[in-house]
């Protein structure tokens, strides 16, 4: 297993693990000593909502969905984590519980780092702490976008948002094969699977996208952006 390196820093909203460039050599060494990797199969649970938060993970290979579960059976797919995103959660420095579940979407490798180590590092590395604050603030901006999208847009706009998210943020290509099920797409867009399917079909009929099974292609991106903006 390769060690984390002090290479380029990254201001990406996703707190790539090279945020570790802010660590001292000694701190970096400590992290690399204690961290370990686990490989998960598709649909396996990496973190379970409600469970104890003892470690922060970094997705090093594969893809995982971040899922908010409520009292009924419905779920909201908050976002997707890809290499090399950090997945922590609001339980850190608060109640040390998980407030969402993380589920592997394919064969996925997660690197576990003790939450206590994070805490220790922060308590004597203020740059790292401030980078964490910056990261949390970017997550919050993302939540704001999700809140307004999910509450103010119609289904067409929400599905357009989902497709744009997958193409731009996850697969970085307008043509992609996904391991997300239709139900996952629906959970991301806060609607039923049937509604998601109908709207995907409409987009296909209108020539905005094409798909067959799990292979998608965005044919008219501007149109998708318009649909997203119109709501």
Partner whose binding site includes residue 220, from a second copy, DNA, none (CB under 5 to 8 Å by kind): none
Who's near 133: CB < 8 A, 6+ residues apart? none
Judged by CB, which is closer to a second copy: 62, or 153?
Answer: 153
Told to check if 29 binds a second copy by CB under 8 A, we report no
The number of CA neighbours under 13 Å toward the Cβ of 201 is 7
Judged by CB, which is closer to a second copy: 38, or 133?
Answer: 133
Options 36-44, 90-98, 199-207, 213-221: segment touching a second copy (CB under 8 A): 90-98
Told to check if 227 binds a second copy by CB under 8 A, we report no
Neighbours of 213 (CB within 10 A): 7
- List of E strands, the chain: 36-40, 45-47, 55-61, 64-69, 75-81, 86-87, 101-104, 108-114, 175-177, 209-212, 215-218
Sign of CA dihedral 65, 16, 13, 93: positive
Judged by CB, which is closer to a second copy: 76, or 169?
Answer: 76
Residues engaged in binding DNA (CB under 7 A): 154-156, 181-183, 190-195, 197-198, 200-201, 213-214
- DSSP sequence for 92-114: TTTT-B-SSEEEESSSEEEEEEE
Judged by CB, which is closer to DNA: 10, or 150?
Answer: 150
Judged by CB, which is closer to DNA: 53, or 186?
Answer: 186
- The nearest distance, CB 215 to a second copy, in angstroms, is 28
- Of the chain, the end-to-end C-alpha distance in Å amounts to 46
Q: Within positions 55 to 74, which residues make up the interface with a second copy, using CB under 8 A? A: 68, 70-72, 74
Partner whose binding site includes residue 124, from a second copy, DNA, none (CB under 5 to 8 Å by kind): a second copy
Q: Which residue from 30, 139, 193, 204 is in contact with a second copy, where contact means CB under 8 A?
A: 139
Partner whose binding site includes residue 70, from a second copy, DNA, none (CB under 5 to 8 Å by kind): a second copy
Tell me how far apart the alpha carbons of residues 63 and 85 are, in angstroms, rounded to a whole number: 10
- The nearest distance, CB 200 to DNA, in angstroms, is 6
Instruction: Tell me the number of residues near a second copy by CB under 8 A.
Output: 44
Judged by CB, which is closer to DNA: 56, or 199?
Answer: 199
- The nearest distance, CB 92 to a second copy, in angstroms, is 6
- Tokens coding 116: 């206590």
Tell me how far apart the alpha carbons of residues 65 and 188 are, in angstroms, rounded to a whole number: 10
The number of CA neighbours under 13 Å toward the Cβ of 170 is 21
């Amino acid at each position: 297993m390769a060690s984390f390196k002090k290479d380029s820093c990254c201001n990406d909203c996703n707190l790539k693990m090279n945020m570790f460039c802010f660590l001292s050599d000694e701190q970096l060494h400590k992290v690399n000593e204690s961290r370990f990797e686990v490989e998960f199969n598709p649909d396996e649970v990496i973190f379970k909502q409600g469970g104890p938060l003892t470690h922060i993970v970094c997705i090093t290979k594969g893809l995982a969905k971040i899922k908010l579960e409520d009292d009924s059976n419905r779920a909201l797919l908050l976002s997707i984590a890809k290499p090399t995103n950090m997945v922590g959660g609001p339980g850190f420095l608060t109640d040390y519980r998980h407030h969402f579940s993380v589920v592997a979407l394919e064969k996925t490798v997660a690197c576990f780092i003790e939450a206590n180590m994070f805490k220790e590092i922060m308590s004597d590395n203020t740059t790292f702490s401030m980078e964490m604050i910056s990261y949390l603030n970017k997550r919050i901006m993302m939540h704001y976008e999700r809140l307004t999208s999910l509450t103010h847009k119609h289904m067409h706009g929400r599905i357009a948002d989902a497709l744009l998210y997958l193409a731009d943020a996850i697969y970085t290509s307008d043509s992609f094969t996904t391991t997300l099920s239709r139900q996952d797409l629906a959970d991301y867009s806060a609607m039923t699977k049937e509604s998601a399917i109908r709207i995907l079909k409409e987009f296909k009929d209108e020539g905005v996208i094409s798909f067959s099974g799990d292979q998608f292609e965005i044919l008219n991106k501007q149109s998708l952006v318009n649909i997203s903006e119109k709501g």
